Amino acid sequence: MVSCFIPRNWRWPKVVLGLLIAEFPFTVANLALFGIASPNLYRTILWEEGGRLGFNSDPTTVVYAAANYRPVKIPLVWSSFKTQYHLVIGVLCMFFYLVKCTMWICDVFYPIVSLFLHAALMSLWAYGIYAQTAPDTIDPERQNKGAPWYITKNCDISSTDKIKGYCMQAKSSFAVSVCMLAIYVFFLAISFYSLWPTKEARLAHEARKAEKKAEKEKFANSPYDNEMTAEEQWQHMWELQQLPRTPGTAGGMKSPITPRTRAFNELSGGGYASKNMPMVPSEYYHEEENGKGTAY
């Protein structure tokens, strides 16, 4: 039976590197566009322009409803939550992009890591695109159940050049969001594909597993068991120290006496000649003024 394992190598590493390179400009553009739009540079202006053109409700609809004690919830597509949401996920994407590049350089950006990371990021961007295309049905006379007018219509219908510029900026933000979602979908697909092990990869895994098992059995049968406790290892070292030393070394048998060794012993006073040497009489010493004696 072939055991399951998680591959750590990418099937198409050049494609992954290409996706990392392609993700950078879109990440920067997304962060810049939604950073400029925050908190409310043109959201309400485009809402008013769409209401004037009859494509969606008007901001005054919410005011009139509140005045008549009929509170109406602001549509998601015109809410401040949409802008702040995209700004937050833009910052998160930039952070995770730097993390991914670092892991890729360190060769630890495994497909299993990419799978969970890009699944989460893809979910965030899927909801972000839904928020940008959410329906506007609070006004019964001007309901829009599809995407807002600045996405589906040409920006040339705007009443002023300033609103036209805002329309093009909002349209660009939506296009960048779609590109970010597409990149994460490609990442997720190649992660799935790389995690599916090939026959060669499974055979190589089984070979490595068998080799490790053989090494483990070899060490298990060794007389020097690696599973000895610290106390047993200390006892073993102490027993080795109690073995008799090699003859001719210090603490063991006496070293053989050579002629040179005997001569040095005789001169140092430890031999037979020094013990039988006659003493020098005291009259052969001459006391000098400095208190030291000199033999004649």
In this prediction, residue 6 carries a pLDDT of 79
User: Which of 157, 179, 184 is CA-nearest to residue 168?
Assistant: 157
Asked whether residue 148 is domain-assigned, the answer is: yes
In a domain, 184, yes or no: yes
**Bigger pLDDT: 184 vs 262:** 184
In whole angstroms, give the CA distance from residue 117 to residue 188: 9
Neighbours of 166 (CB within 10 A): 21
- 105 burial (CB, 10 Å; 0-12 / 13-18 / 19+) is exposed
Has residue 101 been placed in a domain?
Answer: yes
- Tell me the pLDDT band of 139, cut-offs 50, 70 and 90: confident
DSSP state, 244? Answer: P
pLDDT at 109: 93
239 in a domain, yes or no? no
pLDDT in tens, 258-293: 655 666 566 666 554 445 555 545 454 444 444 444
The torsion of the CA quartet 205, 211, 216, 218, rounded to 10 degrees, works out to 170
The answer to whether position 191 is within a domain reads yes
Residue 189 has pLDDT above 90, yes or no: yes
Mean pLDDT (the chain) is 80
Bridge partners, 294 (sequence order) = 286
User: Is there a domain that residue 6 lies in?
Assistant: no
Percent of the chain with pLDDT over 70: 66
pLDDT of residue 246: 54
Mean local confidence (pLDDT), 149-169: 93
- Long-range CB contacts for residues 226-235, cutoff 8 Å, separation at least 24: none
Nearest to 19 by CA among 85, 151, 117: 117
pLDDT value at residue 21 = 95
Tell me which residue of 202, 190, 184 sits closest to 125, measured CA to CA: 184
Identify which has the larger pLDDT, 214 or 144.
144
Domain count, the chain: 1
Say whether pLDDT at 227 is over 80: no
70 domain residue, yes or no: yes
- Domain around 148: 13-205
Residue 1 has pLDDT above 50, yes or no: no
pLDDT tens, residue by residue, 3-51: 456 778 898 899 999 999 999 999 999 999 999 998 999 999 999 999 9
Q: Is the pTM of this model over 0.75?
A: no
In a domain, 155, yes or no: yes
Q: Which amino acid is at 206?
A: E
pLDDT tens digit sequence for 80-137: 999 999 999 999 999 999 999 999 999 999 999 999 999 999 999 999 999 999 999 8
pLDDT over 90 percentage in the chain: 50
